[in-house]
Amino acid sequence: MSITSLSKKEKYYFDDDSANRAVAFIETHIRHCKGDLAGKLFILEEWQKEDLIRPIFGWKHTDTGLRKYRSVYCEIGRKNGKSSLGAAIGLYLLFADSELGSEIFSCAGDRAQASIIFDLAKRMILQDPMLSNKAKVFRNSITFPQKGNTYKVLSSDASLQHGHNPNGILFDELHTQKSRELYDTMITGTGARTQPLLFTMTTAGSSKTDGNICWEVHDYAQKVKEGIINDDTFLPLIYAAEEGDDIQDPETWRKANPNLGVSISEEYLKNEAKRAAELPSYENTFKRLHLSMWTTSISKWISDSVWMENYEDINLETLKGKKCWGGLDLASTMDLSSLVLYFPMEDQKDVVLVWFWCPKESAEIRGRKYKLPYEEWIADEYIKATPGNVQDYDYIRQDINTIIEDYDLQSIAFDRWNSSQLIIQLSQQDGIPMSQFGQGYKSMSSPTKELEKLVLKKEINHLNNPVLRWQCENIQLQTDPAGNIKINKQKSSEKVDGMIALVMALGEMMTDEAPGESIYNERGILSF
């Protein structure tokens, strides 16, 4: 054992031999499994070696000789090789750690995510003759019989994981955890181990609310890093841009991407940054995934200038008899209701027709209260004022039946949680094909992304309806950890019902034109 450094308090020493042993194990026995480097030996980058591997396995207690660090928090941008590094560390703990009967676990919010590192580890073993001879590789576990060590997968979507005695925990994408239960359970299970290691790898998240375990650990790591909290056992590694940094600047990208030029290219980040500049809805996602900046799940959507580039005059008579799909958003008794018809066109931009209804008295009140030109919109017939102070659904029903006479209507999508007697009448009495349309991410994300793409490419014509324009400006988007998006009615600054109806109409067309589970992939809708 060679001692190369002592802390000021001489509480810890650096064991150079142990640090070099961990590096040598990885660089001798571990091979890459993905990309251009697949099949080649895993030669650690400087940051991987000096920030992670050597400190984790080199720093030890002077009195006991046990490892100093018990928890490592690594927050980093996507595509920086964290999964491969996590798998390599897991295999070192399985084969080369000193403790007998070790239990190593890959953990994540769901089994698919947890299996990413585990599956990489299996492939790494199979590429090395020595490791493959010593290990027994099964579908859901790896064993090292010589030492009685095991490596398994756990996820928070399985039953509660009690009774484990982990020596190594590889927690992937902690920000996707819906609760803290699995995290807490695994940590409490390490009590009987002499030098357990918790290695957490994650990108930044989008929720700082109480109970979010990733934000809690991030905040703790930041305070340890800044010296506010004194915890010698915790190694905080946060590779992230800072508020105020220019997100278009390569130097900003480098802060969160230490593997820039190796596993992630500058050209890729340049294109992603350009997309973030063009699509406000993607800016927070770019910051979170590629700059490791914590954001909110709420973001602005399409700018007014971009929206207004999608307008040109056409002869509406050319739409008669054309195939179209509808979206119907029925408001409460006093608010706006809207119908959108979406026309896919072969020889020109797709066309959007929209109708709004609002009780006359309610329109007057809302116009005065919010200083909106409701009376002007009604005079110009952009809004139809129904009699009285509550929504007249009989009036709307009659209007809808009149409207669709001119077109080849395929179906009208409606919010299944906001259906009414009107929906029953339109469907059962009037014979209009009505289709339930969910308002969650599963139903709304893909058509919302497709609408973004159409607007960005100037492939849609909204005919400059001023009410729809106003509602587009009101929109706040909500994003989940998987990058799905939807319009957030609660957080949006004002009414958005027409835009909701537009998304539903587009989604209905997408479903009808390309049935099956893989419709969006087949149409290329998920890409920009």
Mean pLDDT across 362-384: 86
Among 61-70, 100-109, 237-246, 344-353, which is the least confidently predicted range?
A: 100-109
210, pLDDT greater than 70: no
Q: How far lies 178's CA from each of 132, 157, 189, 445, in Å?
A: 36, 9, 20, 20
324, pLDDT greater than 80: yes
Q: Distance between the two ends of the chain, CA-based, in angstroms?
A: 55
Domain residue limits, the chain = 3-239, 305-523
Q: How far lies 333's CA from each of 102, 395, 468, 471, in Å?
A: 64, 13, 20, 19
Mean pLDDT across 359-366: 83
Predicted confidence band at 5 (pLDDT cuts at 50, 70, 90)?
very low
Dihedral sign computed on CA atoms, order 453, 457, 463, 468: positive
Distance from C-alpha of 269 to C-alpha of 371, rounded to nearest angstrom: 43
Mean pLDDT across 486-511: 90
Ramachandran quadrant class, 458 (left: phi over 0; alpha: psi -120 to 50; beta: rest): left
Mean pLDDT across 410-423: 85
343, pLDDT greater than 50: yes
493, pLDDT greater than 70: no
Among 216-230, 303-317, 367-381, which is the least confidently predicted range?
A: 367-381
248, pLDDT greater than 60: yes
2, pLDDT greater than 50: no
pLDDT tens for each residue of 452-490: 999 989 999 999 999 999 999 888 888 887 778 899 887
Mean pLDDT across 108-120: 89
523, pLDDT greater than 60: no
Looking at the DSSP assignment, which residues form a beta bridge with residue 383? Answer: 356
Distance from C-alpha of 172 to C-alpha of 202, rounded to nearest angstrom: 6
Distance from C-alpha of 106 to C-alpha of 173, rounded to nearest angstrom: 11
Percentage of the chain surpassing pLDDT 90? 64
158, pLDDT greater than 70: no
Predicted confidence band at 297 (pLDDT cuts at 50, 70, 90)?
low
pLDDT tens for each residue of 237-247: 999 999 889 99
pLDDT value of position 160: 54
pLDDT value of position 37: 85
Please state the separation of Cα 115 from the chain's center in Å: 18
Tell me which long-range contacts 177-181 makes (C-beta under 8 A, separation of at least 24): 177/109, 177/213, 177/214, 178/109, 179/211, 179/213, 180/211, 180/213, 180/216, 181/156
pLDDT value of position 517: 41
Q: Which of 69-83, 404-418, 492-506 has the highest mean pLDDT?
A: 69-83
Element (H, E) at 197: strand 197-202
Distance from C-alpha of 86 to C-alpha of 202, rounded to nearest angstrom: 11
Assign 60 to helix, strand or coil.
strand
pLDDT value of position 44: 96
Retrieve residue 373's tokens. 């030109």
CATH topology of domain 3-239: Rossmann fold (3.40.50)
pLDDT value of position 179: 79
Mean pLDDT computed over every residue of the chain: 88
208, pLDDT greater than 80: no
Predicted confidence band at 527 (pLDDT cuts at 50, 70, 90)?
very low
Tell me the one-letter amino acid at 177. Answer: Q
- Stated pTM of the model: 0.68
Mean pLDDT across 182-191: 83
333, pLDDT greater than 70: no
Pairing relationship of beta strands 476-479 and 383-386 according to DSSP bridges: unpaired
pLDDT value of position 514: 59
211, pLDDT greater than 80: no
pLDDT value of position 8: 47
371, pLDDT greater than 80: no
328, pLDDT greater than 60: yes
Distance from C-alpha of 28 to C-alpha of 30, rounded to nearest angstrom: 6
> Taking the domain 305-523, which CATH number applies?
3.30.420.240
345 burial via Cβ count (<10 Å: 0-12, 13-18, 19+): middle
pLDDT value of position 327: 96
pLDDT value of position 186: 87
112 burial via Cβ count (<10 Å: 0-12, 13-18, 19+): exposed
